[in-house]
Each structure stands twice: as C-alpha cells, then as structure tokens.
C-alpha cells in the first residue's frame, strides 16, 4: 500500500522531540515493512540521510511551513492534491497536523495539547491556529496516537474523543545516550565548566520549559550551597525569552549559567552523562524525552511533579513544584547533600529505562497504522 507521511520536521541537525520521534519510528517502520511504499512529504529540500530505504519516495512540496498561514496552505490545499495524485491509501502525520480537506484515511500523532492549558506561551496567531484546528484534527483523524497516558486522557477529556480511538505509544530514547567514564566526565567538565560539577537542562528555551524559575532556583541554590556548581542549559531559543533574559541579568551568579545552544548527538551524550543531575522542571510536558536520556546516562533526575513527568520517571526522580523556585532549590540541595540519594536514583533509573525504547515505539505506532489500513482495506 501507499503510505504518505508528513516528514516536514525530519531535518537532520535540527531535530527536536517530534523530529526525533519521526526519525526513530520511521527508520524502523520503513525497514520492517518493505511490502509498503512510503511517500515522505517534505516542505523544503531534504537530506538523503532520512531516506531510509528503497521503498521510500521523497516528495518536496513547497511552500516551507514557517507560520500559520503557510500551515493552512500546506495542509488544506497542497496536501489533499498530492494525496489524490499519488493515490495514497493513508496519511500518517507525526506532528499533530492533518488535512481536513482530504478523505484519505489518516493516523495522527498528537504529542500533547499544552496550548489548551497554557495558551499565552505561544504567539497570538499560533495559539489561535492550534486551538481552532486541533480539536478538528482529533475528530477528523481515523485514529490517533499519543506518547503518555497523561496526554491520552487529556485529549480524550478536552476534545471529547472516544477513548477507543486513541492509542498509547510511549517515546523512546536514542542508543547514543550512555554512561561515560569518570575520566571522560572530568574532561567534559573541564571543557564546559572549568572542571566544576553542574546541573543540566535540555530542551527548547521556551516559557513552557520554566527556564525563568530554574534560574531563580539555581540562584537560591548557590546562595545556600557555596560550592562552585554550574547550570548548563542545552537547547535552542524558541518563543518569548525576554523574561528569562531579564532574570539572568538580575542574577548574582549569572556567570555560573552556561548556555551551550544546540549541540550534536555525540557532544550531547557527553554533556548529559557528565552532569551531576538533570534539572527538568517544565510547567507542562507530554512525555519528557530528556528524562529517559538521563536514565540511560546514569544521572539522577529532578523533575516537575506535574502532567506526564511522574508517569514517565516514576521512582527514578525526585520532584519539585514548578511554580516554586524554592521547591526546585530544595531538590537541588537534596541531590547534592543527601547521602546515598544520587546513587539510589541512578539505580532506579537503570530499571525504569527498560520501559522506553524506540523499537517498542515503532512497533506500537505500526499497530495503530495497521488498524487504519485494515479498516479501509
């Protein structure tokens, strides 16, 4: 059968959470199902690196989808015509967007609906677009998948979707994340922090990620614990960062905050595995891939006690109130001072991480795809 796939976020070197989900699942699905032809639909030039097999037909369909008007043009005008032209048997979208103007059966992966709960984290037009179209996408799709039970219940309850229509497909974490030797960890610390131990945050620098309160918490931590710890923030800037930048300017210990930007996968493993702990305290998260990456690297986790994060990390993390810099600070102090806690969390992470693999993710997503194909065979 002909399976058309929305691969507009499949851009090596620029992959975020949804991009990695697309990369890791489609790489496996294409290989495991040579009996099907997969049309990868890009909105700009693509890399041969993501053409995973001879059964992949790449299609470039401009314009690049850089803002809401072009989202509409691409999904509601360009995609339906292309699906008719290639005679697609189904349309798979891994980023939540489908076409309301196509009658081709569809499988839509909605990772979370954070914009329904925190709309002001997004620019005005983007949030209006999401809040208008996503309920319609959820009802129009033949089947849905999402990445945590929290997100599944949230979509069911918010959009009044039949719970039998939506499947749970947990994320995985790359095999590129693994522990490093103590000697290698010291080399990485020498490179990034002048040899000092550090907490790490990984993710887009976005209001939902709670960078401002993390900075406040780190300032409180440094005032109480005078050892020269650093905070390393890895990720690209996204929306509305002025409040975060103002907070940084006010900090006494701002020289101990290091913005590493986006780094390649090899450096990312080194930076993660050499950290004292992951501090991941967003206001809202549909899954939280950095949690599993930290588990794979044998470092402990301080996470928010909200949305999906307790579901994913379980007893392999300690938790803080994301609204409270003092609560986050207390978690940092515990991981540094409480005897044996760090080692306990690492051991629990070794057990917990077995639940999450991209092989399992790809198999579960394929089950959802098969339901669509079989229903419309």
Domains of the chain and CATH, by start: 2-172+357-375 (3.40.50.2000), 182-355 (3.40.50.2000)
Q: Which residues are CB-contacts of 372 (< 8 A; sequence separation ≥ 6)?
A: 90, 105, 106, 107, 142, 143
Residue 120 CB burial class (10 angstroms; 0-12, 13-18, ≥19) = exposed
Question: Going by DSSP bridges, is the β-strand pair 230-234/198-202 parallel, antiparallel, or unpaired?
Answer: parallel
Ranges of the chain whose pLDDT falls below 50: 240
Residue 275, token pair as written in the block? 């950290």
Q: What is the per-residue pLDDT for 81?
A: 98
Whole-angstrom distance, CA of residue 116 vs CA of residue 133: 12
Contact between residue 319 and residue 310 where contact means Cβ atoms under 8 Å apart: yes
Question: Residue 91 and residue 5: Cα distance in Å, rounded?
Answer: 6
What is the per-residue pLDDT for 228?
87
* Predicted local distance difference test score (pLDDT) of residue 226: 80
Distance CA 106, CA 140 (A): 8
Give the model's pLDDT for residue 240.
47
pLDDT score for 205: 84
Tell me the C-alpha distance between 40 and 5, whole Å.
5
For residue 369, give both structure tokens: 């795809």
Write the DSSP string, 319-342.
EE-TT-HHHHHHHHHHHHHSTTHH
CB 221 within 8 A of CB 337: no
Whether the Cβ atoms of residue 185 and residue 298 lie closer than 8 Å to each other? no
CA-to-CA distance for 348 and 9, rounded, in angstroms?
33
Contact present, 57 and 39 (Cβ < 8 Å): yes
For 201, the token pair is 């945050």
Tokens 């992959």 identify what position?
15
* Predicted local distance difference test score (pLDDT) of residue 303: 98
Query: CA gyration radius for the chain?
Result: 21
Provide CB contacts within 8 A for 62, sequence distance 6+: 43, 44, 78
Q: Which residues contact 250 (CB under 8 A, 6 or more apart)?
A: none
The secondary structure of 260-324, three-state, reads EECCCHHHHHHHHHCCCEEEECCCCCCCCHHHHHHHHCCCCEEEECCCCHHHHHHHHEEEECCCC
Kindly state the helix (H) or strand (E) to which residue 37 belongs, with its residue range.
Answer: strand 37-42
Tokens read off for 144: 């849905």
Q: Could you tell me where the beta strands, DSSP code E, fall in the chain?
A: 2-6, 37-42, 56-60, 90-93, 106-109, 143-146, 166-168, 198-202, 230-234, 257-261, 277-280, 301-304, 317-320
Secondary structure (3-state) at 40: strand
- Cβ-based burial of 140 (10 A; exposed 0-12, middle 13-18, buried ≥19): middle
């Amino acid at each position: 059968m002909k399976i058309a796939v929305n691969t507009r976020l499949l851009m090596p070197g620029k992959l975020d959470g949804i991009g990695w989900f697309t990369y890791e699942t489609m790489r496996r699905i294409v290989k495991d199902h040579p009996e099907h032809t997969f049309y990868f639909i890009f909105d700009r030039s693509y890399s041969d690196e993501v053409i995973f097999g001879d059964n992949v037909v790449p299609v470039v369909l401009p314009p690049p989808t850089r803002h809401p008007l072009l989202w509409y043009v691409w999904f509601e005008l360009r995609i339906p015509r292309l699906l008719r032209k290639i005679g697609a048997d189904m349309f798979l979208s891994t980023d939540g967007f489908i076409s309301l103007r196509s009658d081709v059966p569809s499988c839509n992966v909605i990772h979370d609906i954070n914009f329904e709960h925190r709309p002001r984290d997004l620019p005005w037009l983007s949030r209006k677009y999401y809040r208008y179209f996503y309920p319609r996408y959820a009802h129009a799709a033949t089947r849905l998948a999402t990445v945590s039970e929290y997100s599944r219940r949230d979509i069911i309850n918010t959009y009044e979707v039949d719970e039998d229509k939506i499947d749970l497909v947990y994320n995985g974490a790359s095999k590129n994340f693994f522990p490093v030797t103590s000697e290698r960890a010291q080399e990485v610390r020498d490179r990034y922090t002048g040899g000092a131990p550090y907490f790490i945050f990984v993710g887009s620098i976005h209001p939902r990620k709670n960078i401002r309160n993390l900075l406040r918490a780190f300032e409180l931590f440094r005032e109480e614990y005078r050892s020269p710890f650093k905070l390393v923030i890895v990720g690209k800037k996204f929306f509305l960062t002025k409040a975060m930048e103002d907070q940084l300017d006010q900090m006494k210990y701002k020289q101990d905050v290091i913005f590493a930007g986006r780094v390649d996968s090899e450096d990312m493993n080194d930076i993660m595995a050499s950290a004292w702990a992951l501090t991941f305290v967003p206001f809202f998260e549909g899954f939280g891939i950095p949690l599993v990456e930290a588990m794979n690297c044998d470092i402990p986790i301080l996470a928010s006690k909200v949305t999906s994060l307790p579901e994913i990390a379980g007893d392999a993390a300690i938790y803080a109130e994301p609204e409270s810099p003092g609560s986050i600070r207390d978690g940092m102090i515990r991981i540094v001072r409480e005897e044996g806690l760090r080692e306990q969390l690492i051991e629990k992470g070794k057990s917990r991480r077995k639940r999450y693999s991209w092989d399992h993710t790809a198999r579960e997503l394929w089950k959802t795809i098969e339901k669509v194909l079989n229903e419309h065979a």
